[in-house]
Chains A and B, each alone.
Chain A
């Protein structure tokens, strides 16, 4: 589903964020990406969502070489990727409902479908009763769930999450991860970047570990734990 072939990324100024990274996430897989800050996690997500382009190497999604995607088509690629951010990236002057509806409005869904889909997504994350609230009136965990509802509302085949549990306590983090498991069970490939090692340790998912821009481990959490 997501495939990196010898991908290196050097930012203007010479900072090398990734070097020769190879991996392949299968369709329907749920994968964690971990490493210290500055290890290249964000860069990796940016390469998948086309916020950055690799300096060397190729990124494939569903077999399509992303280097062939023109600037104009980037918007259409992002519609296939549900993205979740640590700082939520919500529109603070719009209601929860409007925030979640945004991707559907952009894609030009008819009003009725927007209603029912937003309803369903909010129900899924348990925020149906707060749909007319402004994001600022919600707690951090609730805001994160709004972001998740927005990411999945158009049922994308790929879900990317950047530190989705960043500021949450363990119980809330666990809830969020459970949500991702649900989406994964529904068929989406889920790719989660986190430095919350405790969280990963409690689950048996494939984990990619980055260090200084290089992939130092690709395997089950257990094997990573063994070496510790």
Chain B
């Protein structure tokens, strides 16, 4: 495009090329610039590695925390008996009364399943588990009440909802007493809420600082190439053309930083898996550390690339404009 000389054609226009070819050329020129930028990273491996490590490690920390929180989530999700409600049937209620009650409760939308444990069954189980077998045999009558175990639906399984449900259930006249063993779950949920917020806060702080670090690195790159930028401007390069290699550098920092964070997170989780396993066995949890699924990996890479790009974009916008030929 020539503004001053209408008849003068230049570059792409001159050779009468089709739109498709133009697109191909545009694409190849981007690929060329991307490769050049990558080559420049390799030319200063130590400096590049430091920037990439900053990106990678700062994504590693929140990612690891996130995965741990997610695992805690899984624990509470798997622990159905946490929101299991035990209902003790009033003494003197007949089996028919209980059947009536069960029939009514089955219509409640809050209840997923329920299980009836007769006094005999309860005694049997107690005998087996407690080790007082012979002592119990000595009892004249069965002291245990009949029990109904209620499993709320997922929606009503949270501590608050389960408590609400318990209140409602104890209104039933056949029921003497109800109990929901929920305190430890409540505590877990509270800790998880705090941890979740902490993870978010740490992530935000780290991400902001990473963007600043990348921005500063790119700023130094720009100043190192001050002369080159001036020459390019003198021979008619647009700001966009000059900015692109720096943006690609930021992109590469992001990609490589993301890959690095995958590796470090995997190593950290592997290292921690033993101690976490110990804790979890104390809680009688089947330990499977749900780690890096596809979505998490993708998110980590995406965040890394975004930070690299934003950091370089800020510097490029600010400093490439400033350099003018003298």
Contacts and interface: CB of A to CB of B under 8 A. Distances in A.
Does chain A bind chain B?
A: yes
Interface of A: 49, 51, 61-62, 64, 69, 72-73, 75-80, 83, 85, 89-91, 102-104, 106-110, 113, 150, 154, 157
Contact of A106 (B227, B230, B235): B235
Interface stretch (B4-12, B170-178, B209-217, B246-254): B4-12
A61 B238 CA distance: 20
Contacts of B228: 91
Contacts of B12: 107-110
Contacts of A106: 232, 235-238, 241
Given A64-B4, A110-B17, A83 B231 contact: no
Contacts of A90: 231
Which bucket holds chain B's interface residue count?
20 to 34
Contact of A108 (B5, B29, B231, B324): B29
B325 A79 contact: no
B4 A80 contact: yes
23 contacts: A51-B326, A69-B3, A73-B3, A75-B233, A75-B241, A77-B4, A78-B233, A79-B2, A79-B236, A80-B5, A83-B235, A85-B234, A91-B227, A102-B231, A102-B232, A106-B235, A106-B241, A107-B12, A108-B25, A109-B12, A113-B14, A154-B10, A157-B8
Interface in B175-234: 227-228, 230-234
B275 interface: no
Contact of B11 (A61, A89, A109): A109
A-B pairs, top 3 by smallest CB distance, nearest first, are A107-B11, A79-B236, A78-B236
Contacts of A79: 2, 10, 235-236
Given A104-B11, A108-B25, A80 B2 contact: yes
B35 to A, nearest CB: 14
Interface in B24-40: 25, 29
Contacts of A64: 3-4
Contacts of B130: none
B134 interface: no
B3 A157 contact: no
A100 B230 CA distance: 16
Contacts of A104: 11
Given A51-B325, A62-B5, A106-B241, A78 B25 contact: no
